[in-house]
Each structure stands twice: as C-alpha cells, then as structure tokens.
Structure 1
C-alpha cells in the first residue's frame, strides 16, 4: 500500500503526482501477479456460476478443472486472461490510485495539515476505492467472463459456433451491438459488489497492519513479508465472504448474451429473482469453493507485491 497509512500527507504539485504515479505502478505490478496466480481459479468460479442448474456440465470444482484441462488443455484455465492482463494498468491505476488518494484526502484537515487516520477512515477509503474501480474492473471482467463461458455453450448446443473466440473479437461484437455501453453490461452488480467488498477488504488489510505495528512497535515498512501476505489473504477471504451472492448475480449478467434483445438477465433485481427460482440460496453460492481457495494466495501475492514495489520506489 502507498505510504504509511497512519500519517498521510496532502498532495500538491509534482510531489502529489509522484505519489499517484507510484501508487499506479505498484498497483499494476500487483495486478499482474494476482492475475497469473489467480486466473485459473477464476475460470473455474465463472464456469460453475454460469452453468445451468438443470443440466450442469460440471459436478464440482474438481470435475470442472479436470474437464477444462481435458477439453482445452492447460490453456483452458487461462481463457480470457488477455483482458485482465491488458487492463491491469487501468484497473490497478483506479484501484490503488483511488485508495492512496482517498487515504490522503481523509487524512488531511481543512487547513491542509495532516492528521492520523481513524480506523473507520480505512473502511471509508476502501468503499470509495471500490466504487471508482468498478468502472474499470467491470469491462475487464465482462470480456474475460464472455470468453470463459464459451465452452459451456458449446457443450449445451450441438454444432455450436461461438460468435467470438478472442477478447478482441468480443470487443468488436459488443461495440457493434451496444456502442460505448457494451462493456458495462452488469455494471450495477459490479458497483453493488465492489463498494462494500473493498471497504471490508482494504479496511481489514490496513487495520491488521496497524494492529501488528502497535503490538510490535514498528513501522509499516518493517512488517515482515509473511505478515503482509497473511493480512492480505485474510482481507481477500473477508471480501468474498461478504459479497459472494452479489458476485454470482454479476457473473450471470456479464455472461449473458451481448444482444440486448435476447438477454435473460436484464437488470440486477430480475437476475436475482431468476437465480433464486433456479435453486434458492444454493444458486448464489455456485463457484464459491474455487473462489475462496484462490482468495488467500492470490490476494496475498498481490498486496505483498504492491507493498514491496512501493517500498522500492521510496
């Protein structure tokens, strides 16, 4: 995380832009690391979330992993990975740039002087960050998810020919159909997921670091990497525990057809009602196992990378 969160400084002039630049660069490095580590688990999550309840393609997470490798090779686990990799700079720029700026803003008095952040401030900063980042994460997730579920449609419909097999083809198809709004399919669910989830995720991460520093009388720069990784992993687990049903709704909306006239999941409430009708509360926890397995190592690697890169930049 950028700077010592307990005593942020206000940004002005070139020094302010330098801090934002460091936040963005460190966040991008962290984003690339989390994508490489976590994308296979994300593929399994999306496929389990999106398969039909009445005629499932996969019986569980192990079966999904086995069939993915059997049908598509190891590369199948990385379906759609070009979208998050290509979008990391934009997404992490919004995520860590917004988080760094939010903490500095909350830690600045009206006269421009700095003040220590209160515990609640970390959660406020996380919520603001989640809202802002949804506008970059939404399109990235949308294109990624569209590619990840093509295999499900192929197994459901005989002689199915996917309308697109690459992210670039999907981009062209959505722009033709919906123009600028195309990649924001499911944005309402992304906003409802990201805002509270990042408040919990980033807030808990910062508070755990604060607690460690207080107990061992050290600065955040002196926190061992293993502790940072554990705090980030726990923060990632609380993220998903808090909002997984909303994520399931988001996945349904984002994997729906890009043709607006043929969409089944037209808005957040309609999607929630239809998913409930499919399987009750269990329907909202499809894909939870690979998601929670991924949460600790992927988020631990990401935030540890961010911390170390930020420290290296000074």
Structure 2
C-alpha cells in the first residue's frame, strides 16, 4: 500500500495500516467524544474569563466605550460584578461541552478515518494536507453545536455593557436558562442559531488551521525528537503545538469573529436587530472604525490562545492515548 514519505508519525488515535485494537466505529467515536468533553471542560475553566473580556471589547460602542482596554475591562468586570463576572454565561459552554466536543472531536476523528480510507476499503497513512482537510470538515460540522453555545454565552456576557451605557436598561433575562426560553419563545428552533452563517464562515477555515497545524507540528516534533509515536511526545511539545495552532486560528479569522459576536449579541427580536446579516454587519462595523474595528478584543484572544487551547488539546491528546492504550 502506498504511503506518503512526508507523512507525520501516526498518533495512537490516527489510522494505521494494521490497527492494534479491534474497536468498532462506535467505540472509536465514543472515545473521541469522551476525550473531547474532558478537553472542553479544561478550556472553559482556563479560557472563559478571557472570552468574556474579548466579547465585551468586541461589542462595546466605539463612540462611548465602557472599557479602555484589556486590563481596564478585567478591572471593571471584577469591580462591578466580582470574580464571577469573568465567568458570565459560563453555564452555556459547560452544559454544551459534551454536544460541542462530541461534534468537534467526533467529526475530527471520523474525518481522519474517512480520509485515510481508500476506495477499496484499505487504509493509508494520512498526508499533511489531510489533517487540514479534516480540520475544515470538522469546523463546518461543529459550527452547528458551537453556534448556539456561543450565542447564549454572548447574550449574557454583554448585558453589563448595555446597563452601563443606559441606566434605564433592564436585562430581559439574567440566566442562560431564561435566555434559552426567551429565544425559543421568540424565534422557535431557529432562535439559538442567530449568527450561524458567520459561525460557519469562521469555523471552517479556522479549524483547518488550528487542528491541522496541531497535528502536523506534533508529527514534526515526534520525528525530530526520535519518538516512536506522537504518544511519546513530552508535554512541552504537545502544548507548544497546541499554542501555535491556536495562534493560527485567531490570525486566520478574527475579523469574522467580530462579525459573529456582533450578530450573536444583537437583539433576539428580528425587527429590532442592528445586524440582520453578515454584509450589513460588516458595513456598519467598518463605518464605526475601519479595519481597527475588526480587531477589537484581539489581545485577550492571543493571551488566551496558549494556556486555554494548550490545556484543551493536551487533555484531549492524553485522554485519547490513555483510552487507546492496550
């Protein structure tokens, strides 16, 4: 069977020509889901405060900003809301981790297995490009579970901005569960998918860069360090691969993320929305501040990228290898 000479060393979770374990497709998927859920809890615990700051900086008014920058946003959040303020909306990602990570890492595992399967049913080693293709497929699929999670989280995160800008403002809901009820009541099953188009446009290329770079860098590190497989990589190699993949994620799509956040934090009542679609959102945001407007909140993303994504992918990697260990 033909193999690509430049292919990175196969991971324990990757496809090989002679699989060591006779696990069924369902068992493999279940392992991917469990590992992904563990990683999702890790990234939420580490990264949610940075995400709160990012969303608030992205969505505040350019003319009358509430926060002067990253540090000021963090200080005022703690001053006005206490430390729990940094975790506003956290119940949405926590409650949705199993569904989101099931779609993310389940799709990534299945995409890699599909790309590694030849037309005659035999398998081959994944090529470098295959990891990026699998990441793109994964990003598209995961958008349908990540979109609603981000929507509910963001709706809660920005209420403080509106209350500070308008003393007469009264939040229509103060908890994620109340937000879920309100959006379903107003827009039916489509309610949680507000801003879905922007989520898909962000996720597809971003996850191609993120997950593809992570896998390729691990393979290169394993080859350089003389490891028999990626499972033998030291922690620093896995964490640094995850961090660089995360940096690539945000550099690739941040302006689209600003559009997504703007649409997801908009009014749930269609007739009162300022950003009814991506084109309108892009035009209005550009009018507010040109190219700089599309990079509001970029700093906390970069600060968050290494620790949060490192924690997630390192956890996923280690749990996956543990589950596949004979």
| TM-score (norm. length: structure 2) | 0.93
Aligned-residue Cα RMSD (Å) equals 1.6
Counterpart position of 1:56:
65
Q: 8 Å contact 1:253–1:267 — kept in the other structure?
A: yes
Return the offset for 1:216: 2.4
The answer on 1:310 being equivalent to 2:320 is yes
Equivalent of 2:284 in 270, 274, 288: 274
Tell me the alpha carbon deviations over residues 220-262 of structure 1, each in whole angstroms, 9 at most, x when there is no partner: 1101111101100110011001100000000000000101110
Counterpart position of 1:19:
28
Cα separation, 1, equivalents of 2:17 and 2:64? 53
Q: 8 Å contact 1:9–1:104 — kept in the other structure?
A: no
Q: 8 Å contact 2:33–2:106 — kept in the other structure?
A: yes
Q: Which runs of 4+ in 1 moved over 4 A?
A: none
Return the offset for 1:159: 2.5
Equivalent of 1:120 in 124, 129, 135: 129
Cα separation, 2, equivalents of 1:229 and 1:261? 46
Return the offset for 1:2: 7.4
Cα separation, 2, equivalents of 1:222 and 1:193? 33
Long gaps (5+) in structure 2:
1-9
Residues 118-267 of structure 1: pairs in structure 2 closer than 5 A: 118-218=127-227, 219-267=229-277
Q: 8 Å contact 1:2–1:307 — kept in the other structure?
A: no
Return the offset for 1:160: 1.6
| TM-score (norm. length: structure 1) | 0.97
Cα separation, 2, equivalents of 1:277 and 1:236? 29
Long gaps (5+) in structure 1:
none
Counterpart position of 1:29:
38
Return the offset for 1:212: 1.2
Cα separation, 2, equivalents of 1:134 and 1:41? 21
Counterpart position of 2:114:
105
Q: 8 Å contact 1:9–1:107 — kept in the other structure?
A: no
3-state SS of 1:32 partner: helix
